[in-house]
């Protein structure tokens, strides 16, 4: 019997470093599971780490010093992220990251990309643009350029962002995630069932997915 394609929703934020690390770990986990015949349809869902962030964003160093108590503490946390990133094959360039943006526009682009079938590529482009290139992913022109390189049309993206398309949906999904008990990202859901939050190593992530698939299959067989 053919294995069903499970829907795997990843609730994430475009400025969450652990979400990029979690993406890499997930990719390794899913490659392992593919050898068992397990298949997944991936969807990226919005969450704002800083829901009160002004639309224009803020200067990063000052913001993080206020959030974490000091610039030194912020640098310490960045170093921890960089180390974890290297283990996942990612390079974080915190020296290039000058602003902390609002991510509402980025989430709108990610939602637009889903219908075009390029959501994963756009998510990857936004992570790379922010964490490696230090680009301001709250800026319309920056978002249009990054999205264009990942398969969307830059003019269409610009037009969308200058209107209100996808705005209400993104804000509603962000609110629904919080109301559903999600307080940290990345969070992973299989067929709408919350599995875990955090960037677990690939073997542990693969085992969690395998176990969840088994439970869902057993429930379906018993129904």
33-65 tens-digit pLDDT: 999 999 999 999 999 999 999 999 999 999 999
Q: In the chain, pLDDT over 70 holds for what percent of residues?
A: 99
Residue 215: CB atoms within 10 Å: 12
The answer, yes or no, to whether residue 124 has pLDDT greater than 60, is yes
- Across 104-121, average pLDDT: 98
- Across 188-199, average pLDDT: 97
pLDDT of residue 59: 96
Sign of the dihedral defined by the CA atoms of residues 82, 16, 6, 201, in that order: positive
Q: Would you state the structure tokens that stand for residue 105, as one six-digit string? A: 């526009």
pTM of the model: 0.96
Confidence of residue 3 (pLDDT cuts 50, 70, 90): confident
The answer, yes or no, to whether residue 157 has pLDDT greater than 80, is yes
Given a contact cutoff of 8 angstroms between Cβ atoms, the answer to whether 124 and 23 are in contact is yes
- Across 90-115, average pLDDT: 97
Query: How many Å apart are CA 190 and CA 86, to the nearest integer?
Result: 28
pLDDT, mean over the chain = 96
Helix (H) or strand (E) holding 40: strand 39-46
pLDDT of residue 2: 63
The answer, yes or no, to whether residue 176 has pLDDT greater than 70, is yes
């Amino acid at each position: 019997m053919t294995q069903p394609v499970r829907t795997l929703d990843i609730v994430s934020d475009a400025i969450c470093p652990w979400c990029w690390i979690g993406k890499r770990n997930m990719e390794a986990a899913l490659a392992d599971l593919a050898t068992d015949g397990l298949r997944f349809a991936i969807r990226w869902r919005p969450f704002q780490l800083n829901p009160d962030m002004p639309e224009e964003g803020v200067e990063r160093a000052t913001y993080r010093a206020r959030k974490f108590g000091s610039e030194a503490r912020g640098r310490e946390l960045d170093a921890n992220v960089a180390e974890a990133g290297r283990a996942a094959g990612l390079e974080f360039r915190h020296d290039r990251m000058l602003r902390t943006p609002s991510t509402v526009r980025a989430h709108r682009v990610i939602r637009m990309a889903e219908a075009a079938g390029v959501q994963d590529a756009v998510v990857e482009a936004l992570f790379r643009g922010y964490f490696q290139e230090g680009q301001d992913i709250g800026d319309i022109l920056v978002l249009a350029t990054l999205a264009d390189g990942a398969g969307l049309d830059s003019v269409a993206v610009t037009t969308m962002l200058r209107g209100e398309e996808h705005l209400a949906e993104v804000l509603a999904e962000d609110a629904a995630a919080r109301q559903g008990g999600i307080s940290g990202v990345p969070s992973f859901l299989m067929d709408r069932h919350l599995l875990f939050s955090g960037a677990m190593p690939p073997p542990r992530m693969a085992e969690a997915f395998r176990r969840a698939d088994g439970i869902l299959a057993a429930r379906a067989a018993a129904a």
